[in-house]
Amino acid sequence: MEAIIQEISTFLQKGRAKNVKTLVQQALDEGVNPKEILNDGLLAGMMVVGEKFKNNQVFVPEVLVAARAMSAGIAILEPKLVEVGNEPLGKAVIGTVKGDLHDIGKNLVIMMLKGAGFEIHDIGVDVEASAFIDKAEEIGADIIGMSALLTTTMPNMQEVMDVLNERGLRDKYIVMIGGAPVNESFAEQIGADYYTPDAATCAEVAKKAVQERKKG
């Protein structure tokens, strides 16, 4: 692996946002593939932080500064990773479910969906079940996308499905879910249409799903 990628990962782990920003820009200038910078630099660094967090070797403040460094790096990469088309392919409402403040994965998903040509309405983190549906109704969305990073907040995805069913709106939307603790069988269990494991797959699947639905 290139030394600069390793350095990006190391500075991210230390929460040094300025260094991460500078190095990401430098790597791009040197012609390093943006996906490599994202996967082997930023995401790999965050995985190390996650492991240390799990083992009580670092704590919330350290994780928070690492997350800020990650976001700073992603902001530099965004224009390279996203090539937005002209025609909006569809509209999507995306948020992190109630009780959950993790937004890095959600923001990556948003970035990739924008790149695939979707108009995105980001409703943020810690979102009430009804807010997903109210926003989808307001803007005429095709997709409702939910992210959850905590095992304790996964059930709040079920709540969104329940409210959709109660309001008789279940079939109106393509429902997509994701996040580290979520999987295919959980999606089946709650009656969501798609689980996808990462942002790129989410964008691919979203594109296909909307195109199929528009064909009838």
Q: Which lies closer to ligand B1M via its Cβ, residue 19 or residue 96?
A: 96
Is 126:181 a contact under the CB 8 Å cutoff? no
The string of DSSP codes covering 105-131 is HHHHHHHHHHHTTEEEEE--SSB-HHH
Find the shortest distance in angstroms from Cβ 3 to ligand B1M: 23
Taking the complex as a whole, the smallest distance from the CB of residue 59 to ligand B1M amounts, in Å, to 8
Q: How far apart are CA 25 and CA 193, in angstroms?
A: 38
Task: Round to the nearest angstrom and report the end-to-end CA distance of the chain.
Answer: 46
Query: Would you tell me how many other CB atoms lie within 10 Å of the CB of residue 103?
Result: 19
- Min dist CB 37 to ligand B1M, Å, is 14
The residue among 116 and 149 lying less far from ligand B1M, judged by its C-beta, is 149
Give least dist CB 176 to ligand B1M, A. Answer: 4
| Of residues 30 and 38, the one with the C-beta less far from ligand B1M | 38
Give contact residues for ligand B1M (rule: CB under 6 A).
43, 46-47, 49-50, 53-54, 60, 63-64, 67, 99-106, 108-109, 145-147, 149-152, 176-181, 196, 198-199, 202
Across 48-84, b (16+ Cβ under 10 Å) vs e yields ebeebeeeeebeeebbebbbbbbebbbebbeeebbee
* Cβ 197 vs Cβ 178: under 8 Å: yes
What is the C-alpha separation between 101 and 127, in angstroms, rounded? 9
> Given the complex with ligand B1M, which of 29 and 174 has the nearer CB atom?
174
C-beta of 131 vs 150, nearer to ligand B1M: 150
Of 32 and 43, which has the nearer Cβ to ligand B1M? 43
Distance CA 22, CA 7 (A): 11
Residue 200 C-beta: closest distance to ligand B1M, Å? 7
Contact (Cβ atoms closer than 8 angstroms) between residue 191 and residue 157: no
